[in-house]
Structure 1
Amino acid sequence: MTAFFDNISSISMNYLIIALFVYCLGFTLFVISILGKNWRGRKPEQHMKLWGNIAFITSLVGYVLHIMFFFTRWYSGGHIPTANMFEFMTFLAMMIMTAFVIIFLIYRSLVIGVFALPVGVIILSYALVFPHEVQPLIPALQSYWLKIHVTTAATGEAFFAVGFAGGLMYLLRTINFKSKERKDVKEQRSLEFVLFVLLMIVGFAASIFIFLAADYKATFTKDIVTKDKAGTEVTMSQPVEYVLPPIFKPSGATLVTMKPFLGIKKPLLEAPSWMKGANSGKKLNTVVWSIISGLILYGLLRLIARKPLGAAISPILNDMDPEDLDEISYRAIAIGYPIFTLGALIFAMIWAAEAWGRFWGWDPKEVWALITWLYYAFYLHLRLSKGWQGKKSAWLAVIGFTIVMFTLIGVNLVIAGLHSYSGV
């Protein structure tokens, strides 16, 4: 029976990998539908309709494969696959694609595929960084509220992701990259930083894949002081395994094994002593590698483009209507906000009361979920009451999803709290 479920789990992963490649193909076809509309022998409207339909159908095929992964994973694991970072991020990517399908069917605009699909691909690629073995639910997650709370919160965040993509495309379309005025230069640099952060995520995921393929490992042991049931302090030796070359080793840890990398046979630096926990050095190492990977990828793309990336991408979007981009971004956030309110606040507080005996406890994840909710409430207030549209609205959408990503990644992986199990 165990072999049967292992086989189902393997098939499930195949569905996910194929879905990722199909999404990439769908994105390429959406780009072709827009950029190649002036090809000879075909009217622009005919070209866009033909290739747009092919792109959407291709994306739907990837979406169906993604759904098949979700349910086969559920069947093999015995619980809804939203219990750890790998499962949650794959579910979030699936909800982003769900939001894409809904928004596309409402507006029938090809530009939605151009900016929504890459966000889903990046999230899904990042999910594949985490261990994907099926794990039993820990006691804290053995509740039907796992299905209700996590799924609705992720669905709201998925619509925020589409709103982010629309806002980013609006900025790429409307910022004047030829101007040297102070205001325009500030906007150019801010947008370039946003693109760099996206490349950090892509570069980090690529680095993980490369080193996993090379079977790279480095292992340390670190003494951790804990308390037993009687309250007596006990020192335990805990292993810490790296899959990326250790630029920073855990503070006070002992090196056990390390594969040489570029001639380096030992960690270059040690994590600061004030960073507590066995995995603190590993987390710092992850952040540093994200920055290094992003810099390398950004530098290569700048070398190819020979100009800032924003300035290189902007001309591609000249035929897109800025008002459509602005409207899509706003509508996506307006749809996502009430769903996020239900999932991340109301359902979460009910579950917290059942699990921990209180509705609110100022856990880091709870605090950042509240910050996210208040931020998007502020966004909708400015949009509806103060008339903040265009660039102001787009910047708010971009910044808002940055907060969402920090809540998902930064809080789970860096800040310790009751939700830290999500980062396992």
Structure 2
Amino acid sequence: MSDLLSFSSNMFVVAFFLYCAAFILFAVALMGRRWSNRDPVAHSKKWGKIAFIGSSLGLIFQLVFFVTRWIGGGHIPVSNMYEFMSFLSMMVMVAFTVVFLIYKKTLLGLFAVPITIIIMAYAAVFPQEVQPLIPSLQSYWLKIHVTLAAAGESFFAISFAAGFMYLIRTVDFKGKDKKAKRKQRWVEVIFFSIIVVISFIATVFIFRAAGYESVFTQTKVAGQEGAQNTVTAKVSYKLPPIVAPYQSKIESFEPFLGMKKPLFEAPSWMNGVNAGRKFNTIIWSLLTGAILYGILRLIVRKPLGTAASPLMEGIDPDDLDEISYRAIAIGFPIFTLGALIFAMIWAEVAWGTFWSWDPKEVWALICWLFYSAYLHLRLSRGWQGGKSAWLSVIGFLVVMFTLVGVNLVIAGLHSYAGVD
């Protein structure tokens, strides 16, 4: 089975690079039309088809990865963060393929394919070994609940891509009034958020490749008065520790850029074993994100939204609005079945209750309520265009916090993410 799992991992890598190539081809299809001596529309159509073939090949290889890992691991590969995020990235490509075949919009690939690439890269941050299923996951409901939830979320990702494109297309980046400047700033915030995620992934891989590690020993008092006990745990940092765990001692410290000890200690309310390390990761993500954002601003010499807006010339914003809405219309019932109805049935089977106010359950409900409000406002109140686009962008940010923030920051019944 080890050979099959090794083959599966290779398929994941091949799919990743095919998606990267497809993204470049989508860029050639759209940007190259300006310098094409022939008909720009024909140029875009030709290279768009080639790019779509490349993304479809990537999807085929990722499907091979999924099936071979399932066979080699003995269970459906959606049980930890590496497997789930890999599966989600695959479903995003499935959703993109469906929407592309319906609307034939080449530009969508320039924004949807990078979402898959980022999610795959994020998945690779986590331990990739096949892990045995814990008892609560040993159920056929795992296949139903997780796969349908991810399928629904993948269409929300396509809606985010189309909605963000709509904003870049319609926001007046030359406007000087307060309303225009406010919209410009929020578009820039979205760009910065995406760059922070990319920077986090890149930073983790760089320090992992360098073999960086610093270790702290943290002592924590647990229990109530009269029955207290002292727990000592080691905390391993894979990123240079700007912030140390609360009330910890350095066991080993690898200097970085002249820094021979952490700059400060995590506040007292961050006294969890991994709280300081997570806070350190957030700081590194924001720092590297700000640096990368600054470099990009220096290169283009203008806000990123202003630089991206010319790409949307000739694109009908009503088409983008329609794609964003249709993607949510498709994904919402699938998400409702997978993330709520079947999830509650499984919760009753596994834990004896349909609802336990677990953080993951609460945030899944928040996602459902948000998209319910979106559809209500869209259909009953006529919220189309800009209002609808902002909601589709915000909604996917809520989804990503549910997938990432809840699993990695908030402890609960769903804390089996396989985090290193």
* TM-score normalised by length of structure 1: 0.95
The question of 1:253 aligning with 2:258 is answered no
The question of 1:276 aligning with 2:275 is answered no
Are 2:220 and 2:271, in contact at CA under 8 Å, matched by a contact in 1? Answer: no
Deviation at 1:264, TM superposition (A): 1.1
Q: How does 1:18-417 map to 2 (within 5 A)?
A: 18-225=14-221, 234-417=229-412
Q: Secondary structure at the match of 1:223?
A: strand
Query: d(CA) in 1 for partners of 2:110 and 2:282?
Result: 29
Q: Secondary structure at the match of 1:28?
A: helix
Q: 1:27-70: CA deviations, max 9, x gaps?
A: 11112112222444532332222211110100011111111111
Root-mean-square deviation (CA, aligned residues, Å) is 1.5
Query: d(CA) in 2 for partners of 1:127 and 1:55?
Result: 24
**Percent identity between the two aligned chains:** 59
Are 2:196 and 2:285, in contact at CA under 8 Å, matched by a contact in 1? Answer: yes
Q: 1:194-251: CA deviations, max 9, x gaps?
A: 1100000000000001001101111122234567xxx965433222111111111111
Distance 1:394 1:110, change over 3 A: same
Are 1:412 and 1:423, in contact at CA under 8 Å, matched by a contact in 2? Answer: no
What amino acid is aligned across from residue 256 of structure 2 in structure 1? Answer: F
Q: After TM superposition, where is structure 1 displaced by more than 6 Å over at least 4 residues in a row?
A: none
Deviation at 1:287, TM superposition (A): 1.2
What amino acid is aligned across from residue 85 of structure 2 in structure 1? Answer: M
Q: Which segment drifts farther, 12-21 or 193-202?
A: 12-21
- Give the aligned length: 417
Query: d(CA) in 2 for partners of 1:276 and 1:93?
Result: 34
Distance 1:32 1:245, change over 3 A: same
Query: d(CA) in 2 for partners of 1:202 and 1:277?
Result: 27
* TM-score normalised by length of structure 2: 0.96
Are 1:173 and 1:314, in contact at CA under 8 Å, matched by a contact in 2? Answer: yes
Q: Secondary structure at the match of 1:260?
A: coil
Are 1:16 and 1:66, in contact at CA under 8 Å, matched by a contact in 2? Answer: yes
Query: d(CA) in 2 for partners of 1:212 and 1:352?
Result: 37
Q: Which segment drifts farther, 67-76 or 171-180?
A: 67-76
Q: Secondary structure at the match of 1:237?
A: strand
Q: Where does the alignment leave 5 or more consecutive residues of structure 2 unmatched?
A: none
Q: Secondary structure at the match of 2:172?
A: coil
Q: Where does the alignment leave 5 or more consecutive residues of structure 1 unmatched?
A: none
Distance 1:423 1:409, change over 3 A: farther
Q: Secondary structure at the match of 2:211?
A: coil
Are 1:12 and 1:68, in contact at CA under 8 Å, matched by a contact in 2? Answer: yes
Deviation at 1:130, TM superposition (A): 1.3
What amino acid is aligned across from residue 277 of structure 2 in structure 1? Answer: K
